[in-house]
C-alpha cells in the first residue's frame, strides 16, 4: 500500500502547511469562538427573558441555525449577503463582502446558536436561591447575573465550551470550499499541484487527530479540576 507513498512531499511542505494553513485555522477558530461566546451569551439571556417576544426571537434564531448545515450557511452568506447589503443601503451593485469576511460572520453567527444552549444550560444549573440572594442584597438583575450567576456558570461551562471549540476547529476546514487557504485548503492545493492526494489527505487527518485528541484529553482533565462540588 505504501510502496509508492511519497514522504518527501510532506517534508517539503509541512512548514508551509503549519505556518500558513494551520495558523489561519487557529486564528479563525479563536476569533469565531470569542465572537460566538459573546453573541451566544446575549442569545441565552434573551432566551431566558420573561418577555415572550424577546425569548421567541432568540429561540427561533437558535433553532434555525441548529437545523441548517454549516456548509449551506457559508454559501448563504457568501452569495446572498452582498445582495442583501446592497438592498439595505440602496446600492445598485452588490457590496463587496469577500470570502474571508463571509466565513468569519458565518462561524460567529452559527456557533453562537450552540454556545447559546451551553450558556443557557450553565445559567440554569445555578440554584435559583442564589439569584434571590442577590436581589436581597440590593442588586438588580444585571448585577446579580454578572457578579453571582455568570461567574459560577462559566466555571461549569468551561469544559463544554472548549469541547464545542474543538468541533469548531474541525468545522473551519469547510472554508476551503471558498478557496480560502486554511490548513485543509493548503493541503488540497499542494495535493492537486503535485498529484499527491493520498499523502496530503492522510497527513492532514493525522494532524487533526493528534491535535483534537490531545485537546479533548486536556479538556477532560480540566473538567475534573474546575468542577464545583455541591
Q: What percent of the chain has pLDDT over 70?
A: 97
pLDDT, average across residues 158-173: 91
Contact criterion met (CB below 8 Å) for 91 and 43: no
For residue 99, what pLDDT is reported?
Answer: 80
Average pLDDT, the chain: 86
The number of helix segments (H) and strand segments (E) in the chain equals 10, 0
Cβ neighbours around 192 below 10 Å, total: 11
User: Interior CA angle at 198 toward 196 and 204, to 5°?
Assistant: 100
For residue 85, what pLDDT is reported?
Answer: 77
For residue 23, what pLDDT is reported?
Answer: 93
Q: Which of the two residues, 2 and 51, has the higher pLDDT score?
A: 51
Q: What percent of the chain has pLDDT over 90?
A: 37
First-to-last alpha carbon distance for the chain, in angstroms, is 55
Write out pLDDT tens, residues 184-204: 999 999 888 888 888 889 999
pLDDT band at residue 93 using 50, 70 and 90 as cut-offs: confident
CATH of domain 7-226: 1.10.3720.10
For residue 7, what pLDDT is reported?
Answer: 79
Is residue 25 pLDDT above 70, yes or no? yes
For residue 228, what pLDDT is reported?
Answer: 54
Write out pLDDT tens, residues 98-151: 788 888 889 999 999 999 999 888 888 888 787 788 888 888 777 787 788 888
Q: Which of the two residues, 6 and 80, has the higher pLDDT score?
A: 80
Q: Say what the pTM is.
A: 0.85
For residue 227, what pLDDT is reported?
Answer: 58
Say which residues have a Cβ less than 8 Å from residue 148's Cβ, sequence separation at least 6.
126, 130, 131, 133, 134, 139
Is residue 1 pLDDT above 60, yes or no? no
pLDDT band at residue 180 using 50, 70 and 90 as cut-offs: confident
Amino acid at each position: 500500500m505504501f510502496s509508492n507513498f511519497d514522504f518527501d512531499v510532506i517534508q517539503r511542505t509541512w512548514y508551509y502547511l503549519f505556518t500558513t494553513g494551520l495558523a489561519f485555522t487557529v486564528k479563525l477558530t479563536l476569533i469565531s469562538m470569542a465572537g460566538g461566546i459573546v453573541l451566544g451569551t446575549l442569545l441565552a439571556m434573551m432566551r431566558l427573558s420573561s418577555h415572550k417576544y424577546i425569548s421567541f426571537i432568540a429561540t427561533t434564531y437558535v433553532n434555525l441555525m441548529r437545523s441548517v448545515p454549516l456548509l449551506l450557511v457559508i454559501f448563504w452568506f457568501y452569495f446572498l449577503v452582498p445582495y442583501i447589503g446592497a438592498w439595505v443601503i440602496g446600492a445598485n451593485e452588490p457590496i463587496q463582502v469577500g470570502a474571508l469576511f463571509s466565513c468569519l460572520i458565518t462561524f460567529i453567527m452559527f456557533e453562537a446558536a450552540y454556545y447559546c444552549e451551553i450558556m443557557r444550560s450553565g445559567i440554569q444549573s445555578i440554584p435559583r436561591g442564589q439569584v434571590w440572594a442577590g436581589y436581597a442584597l440590593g442588586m438588580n438583575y444585571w448585577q446579580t447575573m454578572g457578579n453571582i450567576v455568570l461567574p459560577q456558570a462559566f466555571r461549569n461551562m468551561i469544559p463544554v465550551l472548549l469541547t464545542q471549540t474543538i468541533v469548531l476547529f474541525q468545522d473551519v476546514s469547510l472554508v476551503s470550499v471558498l478557496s480560502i487557504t486554511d490548513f485543509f485548503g493548503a493541503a488540497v492545493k499542494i495535493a492537486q499541484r503535485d498529484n499527491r492526494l493520498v499523502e496530503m489527505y492522510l497527513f492532514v487527518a493525522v494532524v487533526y487527530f493528534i491535535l483534537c485528541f490531545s485537546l479533548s484529553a486536556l479538556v477532560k482533565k480540566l473538567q475534573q479540576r474546575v468542577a464545583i462540588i455541591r
